[in-house]
Amino acid sequence: MKNKERISYLFTHLFMITVCAITLVPIWWVLNTALDSRTTLVSTELHLLPQNPTIGNFAEVLTHPKFLLWLKNSFIFAAGTTIFCLTLATLAAYAFSRFDFPGKRSGLASFVVYMMLPATASLVPQLMLIRILGIKNTYLSLILIWSAANMAFAVWNLKGYFDTIPKSIEEAAIVDGATRLQIFTLIMLPLAKPAIAITAIFVFTVPWTDYVTSYLFLSDGTMYTLAQGLFGWAADFKTVSWGVFCAGSIIMALPLTVIYMIFQRYIISGLTVGGVKG
């Protein structure tokens, strides 16, 4: 390398290191606070690394009865929504991709129109509906709401992927005498695994991190989610130390963070290409 070029690369490195350092401040702060063993509720000293690193905060969070309850609730809500929404969405996406039935185009278009409707206008009527159905403060209520909210996206995303699977595979199966349901479960679903996984990640994220919906629909403390719980802790650091809060945040964030880091490429292309082109 020429000298001039070498200097320019040196500056690029300096620039990138600065950017990374600034970017990492909040993440460093959470880890630092969560691992720090301190007796005060808030930080009184600043150290680059925790002085007496400890996992005490994590131990405290993971034995905290309320936190465990929220964790359980969040998991049931998120997993329930993911399974329910994806079951309905893959079925519909398959039909939209492989059948040529009257009403198909308007059916697909209705999902697009649905995405443009003012979703937040539905909150009050939905509350009324949940009360009429008698399912207030149940897992089912929010699983239904979150599934419906994500249905259009899931159907379009999966349909887009089904469209890329060549039809010749199915035709061979039909010749062999397979039924439509067999084709769907034995051939299409395994082939669509990557798309289903990415869609599942998106759908799972929504209930896991949604604060508004759970705040509005859940009034029973035993049904609270992690988002509600941590929001309460953040507002009240007089009873819960920042270390405990940070440990809780890490537990809530870590699984998704790892998954997003691993699947970043697919997630980005799923969002931009799949989302816009269908």
Partner 1 sequence: MKPAAISKIPQKPVKKDEGLWQRIKKNKQAYKYVLPSMLLVLIISIGPILYGIGLSFFNANLYTMGQGTVKFVGIRNYIRAIGSLDAEFLTVLIRTFIWTFVNVFFHVTIGLVLALALNRPKLRGKGIYRTLIILPWAVPQFVTALVWKMMYNEQFGFFNFALESLGLPTVQWLSHPQLALISAIIVNIWLGFPFMTMVATGALQSIPRDYYEAAEIDGATYWQKFRNVTIPLLKPAMLPAIILGTIWTFTNFNVIYLITGGGPNKATEIVSTYQFNVLTQQNAYSMAATYSVIVSIILIIITTLNMRVTKALAQEGVE
- Which residues ranging from 27 to 66 are in contact with partner 1 (CB under 8 A)? 27, 29-30, 42-43, 46
Which CB, 27 or 68, lies closer to partner 1?
Answer: 27
CA dihedral for 143, 144, 149, 152, sign (positive or negative): positive
Binding-residue total with partner 1 (CB under 8 A):
102
Which CB, 175 or 238, lies closer to partner 1?
Answer: 238
Q: How far is the CB of 89 from partner 1 (least distance, A)?
A: 6
User: Site for partner 1 (CB under 8 A): which residue of 19, 49, 59, 189?
Assistant: 19
Is residue 147 part of the contact set for partner 1 (CB under 8 A)? yes
**Alpha-helical runs (H) found in the chain:** 3-35, 56-63, 65-98, 104-116, 123-133, 139-164, 167-175, 180-182, 189-191, 193-209, 212-217, 226-235, 242-262, 264-269, 275-277
Determine the Cα angle at 207 with ends 204 and 212, to 5°: 155
Is residue 173 part of the contact set for partner 1 (CB under 8 A)? no
How far apart, in whole angstroms, are the C-alpha atoms of residue 262 and residue 278? Answer: 24
231-270 positions binding partner 1, by CB under 8 A: 231, 234, 237, 242, 245-246, 249, 252-253, 256-257, 260-261, 264-265, 268-269
Q: How far is the CB of 176 from partner 1 (least distance, A)?
A: 18
Is residue 163 part of the contact set for partner 1 (CB under 8 A)? yes
Joined tokens for residue 99:
């059948």
Is residue 197 part of the contact set for partner 1 (CB under 8 A)? no
Is residue 117 part of the contact set for partner 1 (CB under 8 A)? yes
Is residue 121 part of the contact set for partner 1 (CB under 8 A)? yes
Joined tokens for residue 91:
């079925």
Under DSSP, is residue 141 helix (H, G, I), strand (E, B) or coil? helix
Name the DSSP letter for residue 134: T
Which CB, 46 or 175, lies closer to partner 1?
Answer: 46
